[in-house]
Structures are given as structure tokens and as C-alpha cells.
Amino acid sequence: MSIMTARHAAPPAPEPESPIRTDDDVEVIRRTRPRTSDDDLILVGAVLGSLGTTWLLYEQVLPFSGSLGFFVSWYLVFLVFYAGLTAITRPRAVVVDRVMTSLVVAAPCVVGLALGSTVVVTLAKGMGALVHVNFFTHDMSGVRPSDAYSAGGALAAMVGTVIEVSIAVAIALPLGVITAVYMSEVGGRGARVVRTIVEAMTALPSIVAGLFIYTIFIVNLQMQRCGLLAALALAVMGLPIMARASDVVLRVVPGGLREASYALGAGKLQTVWRVVLPTARPGLATALILGVARMVGETSPLILTSGASTFLNWDPLHNPMNSLPLYIYNAVSSGEPRFEVRGYAAAVVLLAIVLTLFLLARLVARGRTR
């Protein structure tokens, strides 16, 4: 009796040894599937039926053409067929569910196609210049944009990007992280003001940050366009982004950990240095590397601040300094076919840099979760 009541009280509890099953039969677990073959056949039927109908109507009967239109029509006809076929045997709720599932599955496919085609198109267009080693080892000095791909390259732009982004990161990253520590760990009224302003300034469009630096340094202080100013513009743009991203990461560090640290007698600095920052490390690294990736790809502040050089320039203080986004922009807007191809090749390099940074962020994040 007591066994019975216990079982009734907690039916989902797993039974370690069922006393009923005494024979030696090996239980084969039945594979459960949410779908039946009927469902699968309805799907296949809808796909094939809509393909046939669309082909007949779109290509043969109606005066339409174009592959994009064909696929869109096919999808729409498929939705109608799928809904119709389902409605024959299933209630309305299931019909709606299937139509919505088709939409929900289609959306990431569309985005995936777009993203994939972005990479493929860029790679395909830039291949002509990419296969030449000199693209990575030469600059454009003394090379006409229309020259063959075996002369000239984007070395100056790559070096420029690395220098400018390094300076910008050296300014924005420590300031951003320390500001985040101030906002989430020290707190107080001042911190709230800083948080409000920093959050507001994440809305600053990058071109406005560039215009700010341009007006102050180039117009008012009569400075020359150089790499340092571009780095400053990037830093001004990136500082609020990094501070805010770090703040978000620090805030999700559980309060219990801090309290445990204080209870053990640690001071504020020790708590931040030994508990909060190590706990937040993977998240912090990811947020910061993504911020750096955003800086690497930012073009608009550079148009105004750095100037575009054709020659290799290691000095961020003097003379214009080229960078990859700027190189791409100048190449593509030049209208010279060969220069355009070089631009696409530079875009591939830029994508590769961003991708590398991203993979680095993943590695850092994964390495610390254990």
C-alpha cells in the first residue's frame, strides 16, 4: 500500500529496478519520432508539386523571367501547397504551425545565402590580385592603378591598419575596461553619471567621431592628416563601445562571488583583481576582441582623418597613412577595373583579419570555461 501511494505521489520519478519485469527479455527502446512518414510525404509532395506548378506557370505560361523571381514564386507556391495538403488531414493549428515553421526555417537560410554569397563574391572578384605574392609585400608607390597585378600591392594599407588599430586599442581598451570597473565595481552617483553618458555615446555615429577629430585637429589645430589622428578617431568611436561591452560582462559576475571574497577579508582591489576580472575573463575577452574587430572594419572616420598614401609609411605622426578600409573605398570608387579588383582583394584581407580576430575571441572564451 505504501509503495502504491509513493508511486502515485511521484509518477515521473525513475524507477531503479522494476519488480514487475522478471523475465530476461532484452528491452529494445522504441525510437520515437515526432513526425510520421505521412508528414514527410506531405512535405516532399508539396516541394515537388510546387516546383512543377511554378515551372509550368512561371516559365511556360506567364510572361515572367529571372531566377530570383522563380525561387520566390516557388517558395510562395510551396507554402500554399504545404498548407493545403496539411489541411486535408490535420486541424487548423497544425496548418498554421507548418506554415510558420517553413517561414522560420527559410529566414536563416536567406541570411546564410546572403552571408555566403558576400564571402564568395568578394573572394571571386579579388582572386585576380590575391594570387600574386606582391599584393602582400609591395605598396602602390610608383604603380599606376591600371598596372598589372604583378606590380604593387596593399602592404602600405595593411601596415597602416595594424598601426592605427594598435594605437586606438592601446588608448580605448585600458580606458574602457577601467571605466567599466568604475561603473560596476566602485559605483556611486558619479558612476551612474558616467554610465549614462557612456551609454549615450555608444550611439555616436562613427562618421561624427571622425568629423569631431577632423574639426579639432586638422581644421582648428592645423595638423597634417596622419595615422595618429585616424587612431584617435577610432579610439573615440571605440571607447564607449568597449566600456559598455565590458560593463555588461562585469555586471553578470554573480554578486555572491564578490560577497564571498569580502567575507574572506579581501579588499576592493583584491576582489576586483582576483575574483571579478578572472571570472569575467572569457566574456571580457570576447567583448573586447569584437570591439577591436569593429574598429578594424570601420571606414568612415578614416576618410576624413588619415589621408590615403600610396607609399609605405611606418610613422603615425607624419604624412598620410593608408589603411585597408580606405584602400578598398578608394579602389572601388576609382572606376578603374584593375584597381577595383585590388580593392576586392583588400576586402578579402580585411575579412580574413576580422575572421582571425573572431576565432581568437572564441579560443580565448573556450580556453577559460573549464
Partner 1 sequence: MAGLSNVPARTSLRVPDDGEEDVPRRIVAKQSTQDLVFTHGVRSIGMLVLVIVGSIGVFLGVQARPTFRHYGWSFFTEYRWLPAQDIVGIAAAMVGTIEVAMVALVIAFPLSLLTALFISDWAPAWLKPLMVRLIDMMAAVPGIVFGLWVLVFMQPHATHVAHWISKYFGWIPIFKVHTDVNYPIWNQAPGYPSYEGSAFIAGIAVSMMIFPMATAVMREVFSEAPAGEKEAALALGATRWSMVRTVVIPFGRSGIIGGTMLALGRALGETISVLLIISEAFKIKWNVLESGTATIAEVIASKSKEATPAQLSALLTAGFVLFLMTLLTNVIAASIVSRGRSGAGTEI
DSSP 330-360: HHHTT--HHHHHHHHHHHHHHHHHHHHHHHH
Report the Cα–Cα distance between both ends of the chain, in Å, rounded.
48
Task: Specify whether the CB–CB gap between 112 and 135 falls below 8 A.
Answer: no
Contact region for partner 1 (CB under 8 A) — 7-15, 44-52, 79-87, 94-102? Answer: 94-102
Q: Which of 202, 311, 312, 319 binds partner 1 (CB under 8 A)?
A: 202
- Our CA angle for 160, 163, 169, nearest 5°, is 130
Q: Site for partner 1 (CB under 8 A): which residue of 55, 75, 311, 358?
A: 358
Is the distance from CB of 135 to CB of 345 less than 8 angstroms?
yes
Which of 48, 76, 106, 264 touches partner 1 (CB under 8 A)? 106
Closest C-alpha to 184, from 251, 266, 87? 251
- Per rule CB under 8 A, count of chain residues that contact partner 1: 98
Stretch 260-299 residues interacting with partner 1 (CB under 8 A): 267-269, 272, 290, 293-294, 296-299
Which 119-138 positions form the footprint of partner 1 (CB under 8 A)? 121-122, 125
Considering the complex, state which of residue 151 and residue 171 has its C-beta at the smaller distance from partner 1.
Answer: 171
Q: Show contacts with partner 1 in window 12-51 (CB under 8 A).
A: none
Question: Which residue in the set 38, 40, 59, 97 belongs to the binding site for partner 1 (CB under 8 A)?
Answer: 97
Which residues are CB-neighbours of 84 under 8 A, at least 6 positions away? none
| Footprint (CB under 8 A) of partner 1, residues 289-348 | 290, 293-294, 296-300, 303-304, 325, 328-329, 332-333, 343-344, 347
Contact 357, 296 (CB under 8 A): yes
**Residue 205 in contact with partner 1, rule: CB under 8 A:** yes
CB of 240 to partner 1, least distance (A): 6
Q: How far is the CB of 26 from partner 1 (least distance, A)?
A: 29
What single DSSP character describes residue 20? S
362 binds partner 1 (CB under 8 A): yes
* Residues of this chain, 165-194, that bind partner 1 according to CB under 8 A: 175-176, 178-179, 181-183, 185-186, 188, 190-191, 193-194
d(CA 276, CA 287) in angstroms, rounded, equals 16
- Name, in order, each residue with C-beta under 8 angstroms of 100's C-beta and a sequence gap of 6 or more: none
Name which of 271, 287, 248 is nearest 365 in CA terms: 287
**What nine digits make up the cell of 62?**
506567364
Assess 223 for contact with partner 1 (CB under 8 A).
no
Question: 237 to 256, contacts with partner 1 by CB under 8 A?
Answer: 239-240, 243, 251-256
Q: How far is the CB of 355 from partner 1 (least distance, A)?
A: 7
For residue 64, the Cα-to-chain-centroid distance in whole angstroms is 37
CA dist 190 and 183 (Å) reads 8
Cβ proximity to partner 1, 88 vs 269, nearer residue: 269
The yes or no reply on residue 94 touching partner 1 (CB under 8 A) is yes
Whether 83 and 99 have beta carbons less than 8 Å apart is answered as yes
Question: 64 exposed, middle or buried (CB, 10 Å; 0-12, 13-18, 19+)?
Answer: exposed
By CB under 8 A, is residue 59 in contact with partner 1? no
Nearer to partner 1, 86 or 313 (CB): 86
Measured from the CB of residue 47, what is the shortest distance to partner 1 in angstroms?
A: 18
**Which one among 89, 118, 137, 224 touches partner 1, defined by CB under 8 A?**
118
The rounded distance, in Å, linking the Cα atoms of 352 and 358 is 10
